Structure 1
Amino acid sequence: MQIYHVVLLVLALLLILLAVRMPVALALGLSGGIGLVLLRGFDYGTNTLASVPFTSSASFTLTIIPMFILMGMFAVRANVAVNVFTVANHFVRRAPGGLGVATVMACAGFSAVSGSSIGTAATMSKLAVGQMRRSGFPASLATGIVAIAGTLGVMIPPSTFLVLYAVLSSQSVARVLAAGIIPGLLAAAGYIAYIMIVGQRMIRRELARTSGGTGDLSAAVEDAQAELRARTGGGTSIASLPWRGLVHVAILFLIVMGGMYSGVFTSTEGAAVGALAGLVILVVENRREGLAHIYRAFRDSLLDTAQTTSMVFFIVIGSGILSAFLVTAGVTNTVTEWVTGLPMPPMLTMALLLICLVPLGMFLESMSILILSVPILVPIATELGFDTIWLGIMIVKLIEIGMVTPPVGIITFVIAGTADVRSETVFRGVLPLVVMDLLTTTVLFLFPQITLFLPSLVRT
Structure 2
Amino acid sequence: MVGLLGILILLVVMIVLQMPVGFSMALVGFCGLWYVTGLNSALSMIGTETWSSFSSYGLTVIPLFIFMGTICFHSGVNKNLYQAAYLWFGRTRGGIAMATILACAGFAAICGSNNATAATMTTVALPEMRKYNYNKALSAGSIACGSTLGVVIPPSVVLIVYGIQTGQSIGKLFWGSTLPGILMALLFALTVYLLCVKHKDWGPGGPRVSLIDKLKALPGTIEMFVLFGLVMGGLYTGAYTPTEAGAAGAFFALVIAGAFRKKLSWKGLASAIADSLRVTCMVIVIVWGAVIFGRFLTISRLPFVAVDFVSTLVVPPFMIMICILMIYAIAGMVMDALGFLLISVPIFYPMAIKLGFDPVWFGCILTVVTTMGAITPPVGICAYVVCGMAEDIPLSTVFKGVFWFIPAYCVAMAAMIIFPKIVLFLPGLVR
Asked if the contact 2:196/2:202 (under 8 Å) is kept, the reply is: no
Asked if the contact 2:134/2:201 (under 8 Å) is kept, the reply is: no
Deviation at 1:199, TM superposition (A): 2.9
Asked if the contact 1:286/1:294 (under 8 Å) is kept, the reply is: no
Question: In the alignment, which of 395, 408, 411 is matched to residue 423 of structure 1?
Answer: 395
Residue pairs, 1:1-400, within 5 angstroms: 4=1, 6-19=2-15, 20-202=17-199, 204-206=200-202, 217=204, 221-222=206-207, 237-238=213-214, 240-241=216-217, 243-284=218-259, 287=262, 294-400=265-371
Partner of 1:405: 376
The letter of the residue matching 2:154 is P
Asked if the contact 2:105/2:153 (under 8 Å) is kept, the reply is: yes
Question: In the alignment, which of 397, 408, 412 is matched to residue 436 of structure 1?
Answer: 408
Asked if the contact 1:13/1:31 (under 8 Å) is kept, the reply is: yes
Deviation at 1:96, TM superposition (A): 2.0
Deviation at 1:354, TM superposition (A): 1.5
CA distance in 2, matches of 1:371, 1:257: 25
Normalising by structure 1, we get a TM-score of: 0.90
Deviation at 1:16, TM superposition (A): 1.9
Alignment coverage as a number of residue pairs: 429
Give the greater-gyration-radius structure (CA).
Answer: 1
The letter of the residue matching 1:429 is G
Q: Over residues 364-408 of structure 1, what are the superposed CA-to-partner deviations in whole Å (9 max), with x where a residue is unaligned?
A: 111112111211111011111110100001110100111111111
When residues 24 and 134 of structure 1 are mapped into structure 2, their CA distance, relative to the original with a 3 A threshold, is same
Q: Which moved more, 1:102-111 or 1:56-65?
A: 56-65
Deviation at 1:295, TM superposition (A): 1.4
When residues 76 and 412 of structure 1 are mapped into structure 2, their CA distance, relative to the original with a 3 A threshold, is same
Asked if the contact 2:54/2:288 (under 8 Å) is kept, the reply is: yes
* SS of residue in 2 equivalent to 1:356: helix
* SS of residue in 2 equivalent to 1:453: helix
Deviation at 1:58, TM superposition (A): 3.2
CA distance in 2, matches of 1:12, 1:339: 20
5+ residue gaps, structure 2, are none
Identity of aligned pairs, percent?
33
Asked if the contact 1:81/1:245 (under 8 Å) is kept, the reply is: no
Deviation at 1:60, TM superposition (A): 2.1
The letter of the residue matching 1:27 is S
CA distance in 2, matches of 1:43, 1:141: 56
The letter of the residue matching 2:405 is L
Asked if the contact 2:79/2:124 (under 8 Å) is kept, the reply is: yes
Moved over 6 A (4+): none
Q: Which moved more, 1:373-382 or 1:145-154?
A: 373-382
Partner of 1:446: 418
Asked if the contact 2:26/2:289 (under 8 Å) is kept, the reply is: yes
CA distance in 1, matches of 2:60, 2:408: 35
CA distance in 1, matches of 2:267, 2:390: 26
Deviation at 1:236, TM superposition (A): 7.3
Asked if the contact 1:165/1:392 (under 8 Å) is kept, the reply is: yes
CA distance in 1, matches of 2:333, 2:249: 34
CA distance in 1, matches of 2:339, 2:111: 21
CA distance in 2, matches of 1:375, 1:149: 30
CA distance in 1, matches of 2:413, 2:340: 18
Partner of 1:212: none
Deviation at 1:303, TM superposition (A): 1.2
When residues 36 and 135 of structure 1 are mapped into structure 2, their CA distance, relative to the original with a 3 A threshold, is same
Asked if the contact 2:332/2:340 (under 8 Å) is kept, the reply is: yes
5+ residue gaps, structure 1, are 208-216, 227-233
CA distance in 1, matches of 2:429, 2:51: 34
The letter of the residue matching 2:241 is T
Asked if the contact 1:96/1:197 (under 8 Å) is kept, the reply is: no
Deviation at 1:264, TM superposition (A): 1.8
The letter of the residue matching 2:253 is G
Deviation at 1:298, TM superposition (A): 1.3
The letter of the residue matching 2:360 is I
